[in-house]
Amino acid sequence: MAAVAAGASVKATNRTIWQLFPKLVQVSGKKAGGVKASYGIARAIRSLRPVFEAIDEERVKLAKDGAKLDKDGKPLFTEDKTGYDIVDKEKFAEDLQTLMEIEDEHDVYHVPFAYFGDDSELTPHDFDVLIQLGAVLEEDAETK
């Protein structure tokens, strides 16, 4: 009796995870068409959340390290308070680009496509997100 498939290794850049993880969380709020599908999506989120958080922590660290400092040595924010006031925006952009281009393999739980029921509310775009993050294997989706 197979439930959700074990973790699949997926190779992805930090940019892919940074851009798609929030969409994966949104997908989890939709009716997937079955308990096994919903459970698999939840496991994929649990697998990728630490990676997403590590990327975010490093992104914030880069911004703080590159920010103008007040007289107490604390990073200053922009006037509109949307982020740190970066001294050398070009260097920050280069460092951020380097961070986002890092590619690594991640173990992600994936769900066989057959587990998504006929009453699934997921769109083709939602499945694209799942495929790009390894939560559904592309070859499995193509066979259906």
Give the tens place of pLDDT for each residue, 13-23.
999 999 999 99
Which residues make beta-bridge pairs with 133? none
Q: What is the pTM of this model?
A: 0.84
List the chain domain ranges. Answer: 5-142
For the range 61-68, what are the long-range contacts, defined as Cβ-Cβ under 8 Å and sequence gap of 24 or more?
A: 62/92, 62/95, 62/96, 62/99, 63/92, 66/91, 66/92, 66/95
Give the tens place of pLDDT for each residue, 58-98.
999 999 999 999 999 999 999 998 999 999 999 999 999 99
Q: Give the model's pLDDT for residue 138.
A: 63
Which residues make beta-bridge pairs with 84? 77
Q: What percentage of the chain reaches a pLDDT higher than 90?
A: 75
